[in-house]
Amino acid sequence: MWLETALAIGMVTSAVFAIYLKETVASVLSLSTMMILLSLLYFNLNAPFAAIFQLALGTGTAAVFLLAGDTLTKKSDEKTSTKTKLAALVASAILSVPVVVGTVATQSFSSTLDMSLSSVLWDLRAIDVLAQGLVILTAALGVVLLLKEERRRK
Amino acid sequence: MDYIVLSVTILAIGIVGLVTKHDLIKMLIAIEMLTAAATMNFVVFGSLMENSLGQAFSILGLSVDACVTAVALALAIAIFKKLNIRDVRELSELKEEPSQEENQVMEEN
């Protein structure tokens, strides 16, 4: 219980800092911290595959993309004032209260079907996985076309 | 502790970031937060139902999220290289003024 609460408070705090901080690098690092804590929460919920994907894609890939984007589009170096940092701390403390004490009524379900990850992915959601491949290829093609256009203009 | 309250809180922080920030990269960070909050619900409900359906959905969602980030960043880089702009407010100011002929057609209609 205390581990979940600590992870939740850490997530809220790092999410608030990711929005409040003026330096983009610090914001991206805060977002990565939030994603790492989220993947720990997934491990705690007995969802190891989701946790590993969250670590690889949510934390690693997204951070690399965002930092690369920031480096390639750098314009100004704004510094976060101490006042803003304190405001972020107060905001995260206030937002942590409902997370710790709030509850929503939910029902527990259980199914008798074979619901292991491989059977779900390859039997139940096979078409989704195929469509996923198409989405990734289209995204890669889009990125190449966008950046190629730039190179041609130069 | 309730995971749904946590998810809603992160979603709210993401929405606030998306509305208040005008920097393209900061807006992408807020979008990442929104998708993380949405994906968390899949895993939590999958855990409640004691099956892997939630994990499967979260894996599919995370891959789409990475694609969205890549394309949005490519767009941001292309915009910056062409116009030297990172602020969305400056982008919306680029809207072209209607010409005299277009104004006349609009008045006639």
User: Looking at this predicted complex, what is its ipTM?
Assistant: 0.83
**Tokens 């891959």 found at:** B63
Computed over every residue of chain B, the mean pLDDT equals: 86
Closest CA relative to residue A10, chosen from A91, A96, A87: A96
Flag if A34 and B64 touch (Cβ within 8 Å): no
Q: Please determine, for residue A116, whether its predicted confidence score (pLDDT) is greater than 80.
A: no
Closest residue of B to A65, CA-based?
B70
CB atoms within 10 A of CB A87: 13
Give the pLDDT band of residue A76 (cuts 50, 70, 90).
low
Q: How far apart are CA B1 and CA B11, in angstroms?
A: 17
Element containing residue B99 per DSSP (H, E): none
- Summarised one tens digit per residue, pLDDT across range B22-74 is 888 899 999 999 999 999 999 988 888 777 888 888 888 899 999 999 999 99
Beta bridge partners of B87: B23
The CATH fold assigned to B3-108 is Helix Hairpins (1.10.287)
The domain spans of chain B are 3-108
- Summarised one tens digit per residue, pLDDT across range A31-46 is 999 999 999 999 888 8
Alpha helices in chain A (DSSP H): 2-20, 24-44, 48-53, 62-72, 82-101, 117-119, 126-153
Q: How close is the nearest chain A Cα to the Cα of B100, in Å?
A: 31
CB atoms within 10 A of CB A55: 18
Of the candidates B55, B78, B81, the beta carbon closest to that of A50 is on B55
Which residues of chain A make contact with B3, given a CB cutoff of 8 A? 41, 45
Helix axes B24-48, A2-20, angle to 10 degrees: 160
Q: Give the mean pLDDT of A47-73.
A: 87
